[in-house]
Amino acid sequence: MTRVAVAGFLHEAGLPAPSRFCSLRRPMLLLLLAPLLALPPSAAAAPASPSPVPDSTQSYYARKDAEALRRLLRNADTRAERLLCRYRLYPLTEDERYLNDLPETLDPDASARELALLSGLWGYRAAHASVFGAMQAGRRSMQLLEKAREKDADDPFVLLIGGQSLLFRPALAGGSDETALARFRRLRRVLGSRPDADAVAASEAALWTWYALRETDRPDAANALHRKLAERDLPPLYREFLKHPPG
């Protein structure tokens, strides 16, 4: 089914179109089933939250090393660490245990990153529910992402997940390829200036920027970025995305 067909089907069902990451097409497509409305304008960026775990989570994810991520999850000491490991593990494994016992919300002291990661997990959860259950999970995902943006609109995961949502929602549900491109460009700038940016790789941000350039009909810019990425020694997951982007 094409991207347009998927978007149309989900819109008729009252759900937004999802996204996909390389050979992990189905689970990544299901990530953003949740939001049905455009998110509110960005709130002023809050102070950077502490990095939940070292960038080993990103490295293991990009190498598709699920066992290493499982070890990190078993040894996680904080909620932020557990959420990040589960968020990275699910699309690699499709193991629904990582979607069990999700809190509906977090305490007022939760960081923007924690809220964004939980939003992503609820988005995955929506894919395995009935239509009614998916709508409930979707609303939770949307509300969590809104809260995350209110706390820190420039947190890397808030930008990443928000950009993906805008890319793959129908326009009638608030989707916008142009706004998504702006989010991914902002993400690339943020990664060079924040101390808490290590859990999202610069290559991941560049890949999504390239994809958004294609979707906004900027072939010259997209081709130039593609050439730069193709020259890099990308890890397996990113190579797959570059060769087989979402269709």
Domains of the chain, with CATH numbers?
3-33+51-243 (1.25.40)
Positive/negative CA dihedral, 233, 239, 243, 245: negative
Cα separation of 180 and 215, whole Å? 10
Instruction: Look up the pTM and report it.
Output: 0.76
Ramachandran bin of 22, using left for φ above 0, alpha for ψ from -120 to 50, beta for the remaining angles: left
How many CB atoms neighbour CB 133 within 10 A?
12
Question: Is the predicted pLDDT of residue 12 greater than 60, yes or no?
Answer: no
Buried b (16+ CB within 10 A) or exposed e, 157-178: bbbbbbbbbbbbbbeebbbebe
Query: What is the H or E stretch that residue 85 is in?
Result: helix 79-93
Cα separation of 18 and 34, whole Å? 8
pLDDT tens, residue by residue, 183-230: 999 999 999 888 877 779 999 999 999 999 999 999 999 999 999 999
- CA within 13 Å, CB half, 103: 14
pLDDT tens, residue by residue, 69-115: 999 999 999 999 999 999 999 999 999 999 999 999 999 999 999 99
